[in-house]
Amino acid sequence: MKFSKDHEWVTVDGTIATIGISDHAQGQLGDVVFVELPKVGRVVKAHESVATVESVKAASEVYVPVSGEVVAVNAELAGDPALVNRAPESDGWFMKVKLSNAGELAELMDKAAYDKFVG
């Protein structure tokens, strides 16, 4: 699992990247009550805002860390947005993106570097 400075995580299986927000990020947001996800088929660029997480207090943007085409989104989050709090780095994933530039993965941090980044 790799992490971005915007607090998203990425795992890669072949050319498909699964993306979510980090445990640290969900802790900062607090109780998640709504997640707006991109449409499947949308072509996204790295660092673009593609989703919104709403907590009781505020809305926060989610920046996709890699470029490509959105091929799936997590439908579970519509009925159970708190999954982002309970399982941020597994069942609470946001979207899957078919990578168009695998080289972008090199810019991401590993877990040790990310843990150091968030202090």
Partner 1 sequence: MDQTALKRTPLYDLHVALGAKMVPFAGYDMPVQYPSGILAEHKWTRENAGLFEVSHMGQCSIVGPNFESVARAMEMIVPADILSLKPGQQRYSQLLNIQGGISDDLMITHSNWEGLEGSLYVVVNASRKGFDFAHIEENLPPGLTFKRYDNLALMALQGPKAEEALAKLNAGVKALAFMNSGRFDLAGIAAHVSRSGYTGEDGFEISVAGTDAAELWNKLLSDPLVRPIGLGARDSLRLEAGLCLYGHDIDRTTSPIEAQLQWSIAKRRRADGGFIGSHRVQRELLGGVSRKRVGVKPDGRAPARDGTEIQDESGRKIGVITSGGFGPSVNGPVAMGYVETAYAVAGTPVSLIVRGQAMPAQVCTLPFIPNRFKK
Would you tell me which residues interact with partner 1 (CB under 8 A)? Answer: 30-31, 33-34, 36, 52, 54-59, 78, 81
* Smallest separation (angstroms) from partner 1 to the CB of 30: 6
Our CB check for partner 1 shows the closer of 10 and 53 to be 53
R_g (Cα) of the chain, nearest Å: 13
Distances in Å between the Cα of 100 and the Cα atoms of 2, 14, 58, 73, 80 are: 17, 12, 32, 18, 30
Q: Give whichever of 13 and 39 is closer to partner 1, judged by the CB atom.
A: 39
- As measured in angstroms, the least distance from the Cβ of 25 to partner 1 is 14
Q: Measure the CA–CA gap between 113 and 61, rounded to whole angstroms.
A: 23
Residue labelled with tokens 């168009």 = 100
> Smallest gap, in angstroms, from Cβ of residue 107 to partner 1?
27
